Copies of this chain bind each other. A is one copy, B any other.
Amino acid sequence: MGEKITSYMVAKRAGVSQSAVSRVFKPGSSVSEKTARKVRKAAEELGYRPNTLARAMASGRSRIIGLVVAYFENQFYPEAIEKLANTLQANDYHVLMFMSWDETEAPETVINDLLDYQVDGIIAASVGVTDVLTKRCEAAGIPVMLFNRHQNDDKLSAVTSDNFTGGRKLAEFLVRGGHERIAHVAGWDGASTQRDREAGFLSGLAAHGMTLFARSCGNFHRDQAQEAARVLLRAEVRPDAIFVSNDHMAFAVMDVIRSEFKLRIPEDISIVGYDDVAMSEWPCFDLTTVRQPTNRMAEETVRILLQMIENEESLPCRIALDGPLVVRGSARLPVDE
């Protein structure tokens, strides 16, 4: 069992050449309706399916996209990956997953694996792409897209949400809510998302003549975020609001505030996050946050990547999509004037 049906066998049965069969299965080829019918019939009867690998080999296009990920812990990524994979699938591409151990560096071996598989393109989500990766991919002519991150490298295309503006919106909102001691639990400083969100936030505060009351770093990890929250709350004077750099850490912070410090949210302290992952809406958290437009981000990422694959000359581009402030119950509301 498991006898492979080749295009050659189909050709013989249909009484045409092997290349005719190939053409019938390649969208956009010129074949007469008559030949196509014969071929399709024979293929059907034999249960023929074109071999993607052979096709990749011969054409130099694998229709495989390498997706480099890490940090599934943060719900945002599973959600995003699901959408990326679906969008890619709708375009007849598929995702080869590469787990990267380290947030700061895509190890040499992952890059090698990626290249060895002759992927047509790469999407890097949540990994700092090292120069090495960039250079090797450029040399190999493989386009790279950064998802939810950008780097100073001009040759890299990136899709993010507009983190600066989002941060600013959050600051506006807290200030209008009458908060006076606004603190920040930051993520990893190496990430552009962190830097942009914080910069936007600070600029929002500055616009009202305010500055950060306190700052503590959670590095985007739950346990570190909890520790960061403890530091903030053990202080002589406590903040009356905290902007946590992503929802994932915000949940951690909220847990600490309620279970360890017995404070109420938002009566005693307001919390806002960033991402709007599914859980943020759950009554237990009911988190005010900025939504990342994951669907559109995935669509744009795929669109740009495919364009780069099809059109060698297309220039790298960086896109920042706007996301709305989602007001829920975790932060005191502005008093309408």
Q: Which residues in A have some Cβ–Cβ distance to B below 8 Å?
A: 1-2, 49-54, 56-57, 62, 64, 67, 72-73, 75, 77-79, 81-82, 85-86, 89, 94-99, 112-113, 115-118, 138-142, 251-252, 254-255, 258-259, 278-279, 282-285
Please give the distance in Å from A132's CB to the nearest CB on chain B: 12
The docked-state distance in angstroms from the alpha carbon of A40 to that of B82 is 40
Q: Are A97 and B94 in contact (CB under 8 A)?
A: yes
Please give the distance in Å from A50's CB to the nearest CB on chain B: 6
The docked-state distance in angstroms from the alpha carbon of A252 to that of B281 is 11
The docked-state distance in angstroms from the alpha carbon of A254 to that of B139 is 54
Q: Are A118 and B284 in contact (CB under 8 A)?
A: no
Q: Are B82 and A72 in contact (CB under 8 A)?
A: yes
The docked-state distance in angstroms from the alpha carbon of A98 to that of B88 is 10
Please give the distance in Å from A93's CB to the nearest CB on chain B: 10
Q: List 8 A-B contacts (CB under 8 A).
A: A1-B141, A52-B118, A64-B96, A73-B278, A78-B78, A89-B113, A254-B284, A255-B282
Residues in B whose Cβ lies below 8 Å from that of A98: 89, 94
- From B53, B115, B138, contact of A117 by CB (8 A): B53
Residues in B whose Cβ lies below 8 Å from that of A141: 1-2
Please give the distance in Å from A87's CB to the nearest CB on chain B: 10
- From B57, B85, B279, contact of A54 by CB (8 A): B57
Residues in B whose Cβ lies below 8 Å from that of A99: 82, 85-86, 89
Q: Are A251 and B139 in contact (CB under 8 A)?
A: no
Please give the distance in Å from A276's CB to the nearest CB on chain B: 15
Choose among A73, A77, A89 the residue with the greatest number of B CB atoms under 10 Å from its CB. Answer: A89
- From B2, B95, B118, B140, contact of A53 by CB (8 A): B118
**Chain B residue at minimum C-beta to C-beta distance from A92:** B113
Please give the distance in Å from A169's CB to the nearest CB on chain B: 26
Q: Which 4 A-B pairs have the closest CB atoms?
A: A2-B141, A259-B283, A78-B78, A52-B116
Please give the distance in Å from A109's CB to the nearest CB on chain B: 9
**Chain B residue at minimum C-beta to C-beta distance from A63:** B117
**Chain B residue at minimum C-beta to C-beta distance from A251:** B282
The docked-state distance in angstroms from the alpha carbon of A35 to that of B37 is 53
Q: Are B283 and A255 in contact (CB under 8 A)?
A: yes
Residues in B whose Cβ lies below 8 Å from that of A81: 72
Residues in B whose Cβ lies below 8 Å from that of A113: 89, 94
The docked-state distance in angstroms from the alpha carbon of A117 to that of B98 is 17
Q: Are B2 and A118 in contact (CB under 8 A)?
A: no
Q: Are B94 and A95 in contact (CB under 8 A)?
A: no
